[in-house]
Amino acid sequence: MTKGHSWAGIAASLAALAWLGLPTTALAQEESGTKTAHELRADYDKDLKGKTIAFLPIATGVPLMDEWGRVIKTEAEWRGMKFIIRDPALNMSAMQQALTALVDQKPDVLIVQNPSVTLLMKELKRAESQGIHVIQMNMSSNYKSDAFVGADWYEVGRILAEDVVKVCGTGSGTSGEVQIVQGELAAAASVDQIAGVMDTLKKDSAIKVVSNQAANWDANNALNITATVIQQHPNLCASIGFWGIMQSGAAQAIRNAGKIEQVKVYASGEGSQLDCDQVAQGNFHKFLSYTATEQGHDAFLAAEALLEGGTKPGTTHKEFYTRPVWLDKANASGANCYPVPKPPTSTASN
């Protein structure tokens, strides 16, 4: 403050201006709000309100897909949008039929989880040719649509393997023997994750991959595979699984063999309370979460960007990757572990 001025003097000057009818910042504001705010909201509502967003997961009743659906539905409803969900219940033929029917209904945005890199390609391309924005969720196909939302699977595999090398690699004093439990071999989550795992493990000659098998996302398959592996390799150092729910079966087999303290069990997945429980119970040594709640928000953000952008479907390719986060006994709790949601339902009648 300059010499000769005081807060009292400034206040008196402002009061004088108000007395003379001259506008101050506060007095200049319109009682109904700013013109800019009204225009921004009107543009936003024009692009989103009344639009339809459709979600086709591989199945409902699974924490990962249900959390995506819960978040997308919540965000859509707040914006006055209609939400449609279809449940193929793990039936690939039913999924193809459901996708064909959804494309025929022509929602404004279609969010699809691919079971393989090839199965839904033709219909995804047809959807965009029909004027529907297509977002592929967490597992891409060989067709690049308007947007992809999810994990960078090569990165996930690399991060998992880097920690396994620290525990089982050169100088660890262990056997160096590692088991890998993949999901569905044709799914992007397996194709790219195994590439990241193997590229990293092969950098250390002390690591020996003694088993690399697909359990097709099924916990019982993972249990049976691992029960055989642990019998054949009693000095196994680590087990890497490509999904928490599936890998819980491998962990159970290792626990049944009395080896849960010896064998470090790793998994990647969505980060639900079920995953955190496995960590808390000592079944998972560490869990790499790609945070389904954040992915759900990113999916809606992608839909929002496409609808507001005004671009023609099929003419842009955007990527929204989610950051992997390690969970262990120190942080596998609270906000890092979302509660298991109920399967969402449609808000649109069609």
What are 124-139's pLDDT values in tens digits?
A: 999 999 999 999 999 9
At residue 278, the 3 state secondary structure works out as helix
Q: Mean pLDDT over residues 156-170, rounded?
A: 98
Look up tokens 């994990």; give the residue. Answer: 151
Q: Mean pLDDT over residues 62-72, rounded?
A: 98
pLDDT value of residue 4: 47
pLDDT value of residue 15: 53
Dihedral sign for Cα atoms in the order 218, 89, 294, 128:
positive
C-alpha to C-alpha distance for 76 and 86, rounded to whole angstroms: 16
In the predicted model, is pLDDT for residue 238 greater than 80? yes
Question: Would you list the DSSP string of 193-247?
Answer: HHHHHHHHHTT-TT-EEEEEEE-TT-HHHHHHHHHHHHHH-TT--EEEESSHHHH
What are 13-58's pLDDT values in tens digits?
A: 555 545 455 455 554 556 788 999 999 999 999 999 999 999 999 9
Q: Mean pLDDT over residues 270-283, rounded?
A: 97
pLDDT value of residue 27: 46
**Predicted model pTM:** 0.89
Q: Mean pLDDT over residues 194-214, rounded?
A: 98
- Which domains, ranges and CATH numbers included, belong to the chain? 44-151+292-323 (3.40.50.2300), 153-289 (3.40.50.2300)
C-alpha to C-alpha distance for 109 and 114, rounded to whole angstroms: 16
pLDDT value of residue 179: 98
58 close to 113: Cβ distance less than 8 angstroms:
yes
At residue 313, the 3 state secondary structure works out as coil
